[in-house]
Amino acid sequence: MNDKVQKVLAVETSCDDTSVAIVDLNGFVVNQVSANQDLQHAPYGGIVPEIASRNHSVALLPLIDHVIKKSNMTWTDINGLCVTNRPGLIGSLIVGIMTLKSIAQAYQLPLIGVNHLEGHLLAPFLKDAQYQPPSDFDYPYIALAVSGGHTSLYWVKSFSEYVVIGTTKDDAAGEAFDKFAKMVGLGYPGGVQVDKTAAQGDASKYNFPRSLVLEDNLMMSFSGLKSSAHRLLEKMPKEEIETERANLCASFQEAVVDVLVSKLLKAADRYKCRKLVITGGVSANSRLRQRIEALSDKYQIVVPPVRYCTDNAAMIGYAGILRLNRGESHGLSLGPSPQLYESDFSFDLQ
Ligand code: KG4
Ligand code: ZN
């Protein structure tokens, strides 16, 4: 009899997406269901933490019921529970954690709290009925995790061995996209709208700065780019911003993508690694995908499908099931832990 944890139910509520998935120990996603809160936050131009946690508390239990029914399962088919407990918005984290603690108690299931970023880093192993990664993909690899809250490069040596090798000194790339979208009069969330608008534009029309690209390190910065866009747009009449919107978006997007791609390649060079992964919400960006995929003659590129790149429960389930099968679990003492890296990662920032 195999006493390994075979299937887990996982929950992700660290920010504004409520996501629930059932995942097996090979990274196969039986089902994932998610609720997006964009419409509720849009009037405020950004995420309002109190609204996020209230929405999680309304959406989470119905989503859990739904994913179990959709998978034709009952609780007896689930052998463990995984929930993001760090980092994230404290109120949002608490909703996911308290819900799974109640279920763990009711059904006597082991529970593990997962680092959200470890989830993003392991997303390239996820598979489902429609998608699978290349069969020879494995550790070690370089991962660029790029989202609204984080922009960092990692040397992923093996499961649970993650080295932060580069990071942004200021804003995350997704945050820069969102702020720029606001400046050019696009709604929230901005990244995806900049991406769509840029498709009609000329990326060489405006020359935005590519901070730190010439420096021989893996550090990034997007605040100079944001200020430069602000200074340019301040001088432009509203009508001109409207007529130039596509060119502005394409030029801004190209600057962000140039920085990300150049640092990713520098990392590959430094660690002599031919396997590259991009993950996190910004990896949904079509220009970034295009530029990364163009490198596939020299590198093995794995970009998970968008459903596993943006915040999702499947990645939390996979990280969690691996940890449960190593004998780790938190049980009912689990709490939210807002701090980011300290004990989960090591650092090699030169
Ligand atoms: O990983 P994610 O869903 O949540 C965080 O952990 O932050 O990432 C959300 C970020 C937002 O800043 C959003 O604007 C950005 O990802 N994003 C994009 C695109 N889709 C989402 N940025 C650029 N182009 C896109 N297509
Ligand atoms: Zn994320």
Tokens 């960006």 correspond to: 285
pLDDT of residue 1: 46
Alpha-carbon distance of 230 to 184, in angstroms, equals: 9
Closest CA to 97 of 11, 173, 23, 30: 11
Centre of ligand 1 to C-alpha 89, Å, is: 16
Average pLDDT over residues 114-143: 97
Domains of the chain: 7-131+308-343 (3.30.420.40), 141-303 (3.30.420.40)
For residues 93 and 19, the answer to whether their CB atoms sit within 8 Å is no
Supply the residue whose CA is at minimum distance from atom 20 of ligand 1: 192
pLDDT of residue 235: 94
CB-based burial label for 258 (10 Å; 0-12, 13-18, 19+): middle
Shortest-distance ligand to the CA of residue 290: 1
For the chain, report the end-to-end CA distance as a whole number of angstroms.
Answer: 49
For residues 99 and 332, the answer to whether their CB atoms sit within 8 Å is no
pLDDT of 341 > 80? The answer is no
Express as a percent the part of the chain with pLDDT over 70.
98
pLDDT of residue 187: 85
pLDDT, tens digit, 9 for 90 and up, residues 2-57 = 689 999 999 999 999 999 999 999 999 999 999 999 899 988 888 899 999 999 99
pLDDT of residue 350: 76
For residues 191 and 182, the answer to whether their CB atoms sit within 8 Å is no
Q: Which atom of ligand 1 is nearest to the CA of 196?
A: 26
For residues 166 and 152, the answer to whether their CB atoms sit within 8 Å is yes
Q: Of 184-188, 195-199, 292-296, give the lowest mean pLDDT range.
A: 184-188
For residues 172 and 146, the answer to whether their CB atoms sit within 8 Å is yes
pLDDT, tens digit, 9 for 90 and up, residues 310-323 = 999 999 999 999 99
Centre of ligand 2 to C-alpha 117, Å, is: 7
Average pLDDT over residues 200-223: 96
Residues flanking ligand 1, CB < 6 Å: 15, 147-149, 174-175, 177-178, 189-192, 195, 280-282, 284-285, 310-311
pLDDT of residue 2: 64
pLDDT of residue 147: 93
Give 67-74's long-range contacts (Cβ < 8 A, gap of 24+). Answer: 67/9, 67/20, 67/21, 67/22, 67/31, 67/32, 67/33, 68/9, 68/22, 70/31, 70/33, 71/22, 71/30, 71/31, 73/22, 73/30
Angle at 13 between CA 315 and CA 150, to 5 degrees: 70
Single pTM value for the model: 0.95
Average pLDDT over residues 92-121: 97
Supply the residue whose CA is at minimum distance from atom 1 of ligand 1: 281
Shortest-distance ligand to the CA of residue 199: 1
Centre of ligand 2 to C-alpha 115, Å, is: 10
Express as a percent the part of the chain with pLDDT over 90.
92
Closest CA to 126 of 227, 25, 49: 25
Average pLDDT over residues 161-175: 96
Centre of ligand 2 to C-alpha 295, Å, is: 25
pLDDT of residue 337: 86
Verify cis geometry, omega within 30 degrees of 0, for the bond prior to 189. Answer: yes
pLDDT band per the 50, 70, 90 thresholds, residue 340: low
pLDDT of 284 > 80? The answer is yes
Alpha-carbon distance of 267 to 74, in angstroms, equals: 45
pLDDT of 113 > 70? The answer is yes
For residues 26 and 97, the answer to whether their CB atoms sit within 8 Å is no
Centre of ligand 1 to C-alpha 325, Å, is: 31
Q: Which of 114, 182, 309, 310 to mutate to test the pocket of ligand 1 (most atoms within 8 A of CB)?
A: 310
For residues 127 and 27, the answer to whether their CB atoms sit within 8 Å is yes
pLDDT of 120 > 50? The answer is yes
pLDDT of 118 > 50? The answer is yes
Centre of ligand 2 to C-alpha 310, Å, is: 6
Average pLDDT over residues 120-129: 98
Backbone phi and psi for residue 68, each to the nearest 5 degrees, phi listed first: -70, -45
pLDDT of 283 > 90? The answer is yes
